Structure 1
């Protein structure tokens, strides 16, 4: 636009002088790339991805659930999905899932990765 302005190709003479536009500069910025995380899982329950999602929509399920809680085993890519009615059911569902799986497989969960959502913080999760 500066080149066009210097050549006099703008029909409006007020546009002849172009001011610094901070929004244009911000729009051209690039985000720094995140490094790729390298973790190697050697067995079941070594690394579990844990997420909570919702409320899903204005329409509830037949049971009245609007939230979704998922657990993904990084080693086998097995997925467990739980449908929840209330957000405060996250901790109890996690405890039930962990107890069930550890008894069934005979191993303990070594690492649990979350997206640092606020539903994973609180006194009950910290004590556990």
Structure 2
């Protein structure tokens, strides 16, 4: 440090050069850039000069992992679920949604749904506060058990 509290710098000018990167696997890069287009179609784009700056496309034995995963076959989804409830109220799905940005005229910000797995019957309750969910559930349970004659056996939720 000098007397004026500065640090002198000694810069040496030397030979300056720039490095250039080149890619040997340009075919695979263009294959990915074009949304995993096949090699024959890439060659056609290059021959007809449909893409500006497309280099020469060469046949390659390398395999694109994304294309292989995309071509894997998988079992189809079953048309009917095998675990469906056989009697009403055997399994009821529930979810709480909210708080909503727009408040209803009654001041509700949440809604609570109950869906019976057997009959697909759906009940929707509107709530001002999320803390009212348990009291609404007790009323729902009493009402549907009285009306249907069945007992609620399982309640499935996402713990919301």
Q: With the length of structure 2 as denominator, give the TM-score of the two structures.
A: 0.49
Equivalent position to 2:133, from 70, 81, 90: 90
- Give aligned pairs, total: 110
The structure number with the bigger radius of gyration is 2
Equivalent position to 1:71, from 91, 97, 114: 114
What CA deviation, in whole Å up to 9, does each residue of 1:10-32 have, x standing for no partner? xxxxxxxxxxxxxxxxxxxxxxx
**Structure 1 alignment gaps of length 5 or more:** 1-36, 120-128
Whose helix fraction is larger, Structure 1's or Structure 2's? 1
What CA deviation, in whole Å up to 9, does each residue of 1:63-83 have, x standing for no partner? 000101000011111100000
Instruction: State the Cα RMSD in Å.
Output: 3.6
Cα distance in 1 for partners of 2:123, 2:84 equals 21
Question: Whose RCO is larger (CA < 8 A, sep 6+)?
Answer: 1
Equivalent position to 1:80, from 123, 142, 149: 123
**Structure 2 alignment gaps of length 5 or more:** 1-80
Equivalent position to 1:42, from 67, 72, 86: 86
